[in-house]
Amino acid sequence: KNQVEQSPQSLIILEGKNCTLQCNYTVSPFSNLRWYKQDTGRGPVSLTIMTFSENTKSNGRYTATLDADTKQSSLHITASQLSDSASYICVVSAGFQKLVFGTGTRLLVSP
């Protein structure tokens, strides 16, 4: 069964600190992996998209990594800001119309 599991479920960090969110997947075939940020009461916003051949992709203070061999991805947030408080969703594409969504990691950045 195609699944995307994210950890931790929730996380609290102090403003200015770094953090890393994890995503493990069992999705086949693999097309690409995406990270989205979802603010409370809003729709998800795309952060990165990585294909099989990409190991790292950055978007400002967000850096995603992908290990296709172990089927793991991580999202690293550097120098966190209060505005980073949100849910972060990992999504794996298995091809046309086959997006498998994780349940997200809820991040709270505390002042």
Partner 1 sequence: NAGVTQTPKFQVLKTGQSMTLQCAQDMNHEYMSWYRQDPGMGLRLIHYSVGAGITDQGEVPNGYNVSRSTTEDFPLRLLSAAPSQTSVYFCASSTGTFYGYTFGSGTRLTVV
When the beta carbons of 50 and 80 are compared against partner 1, the nearer one is 50
28: β partners: none
Contact residues: partner 1, CB under 8 A: 4, 31-32, 34, 41-46, 49, 89, 91, 93, 96-97, 99-104
Nearest distance from residue 100's CB to partner 1, in Å? 7
Nearest distance from residue 65's CB to partner 1, in Å? 18
Nearest CA-CA partner of 11 in 85, 72, 91:
85
When the beta carbons of 34 and 77 are compared against partner 1, the nearer one is 34
Q: How far is CA 110 from CA 28, 74, 105, in A?
A: 38, 22, 16
What's the rounded Cα separation, in Å, for the pair 98 and 91? 10
When the beta carbons of 17 and 42 are compared against partner 1, the nearer one is 42
What's the rounded Cα separation, in Å, for the pair 35 and 73? 9
- The region that residue 97 occupies, defined by phi over 0 for left and psi between -120 and 50 for alpha, beta otherwise, is left
Nearest distance from residue 98's CB to partner 1, in Å? 9
When the beta carbons of 32 and 72 are compared against partner 1, the nearer one is 32
Nearest distance from residue 90's CB to partner 1, in Å? 9
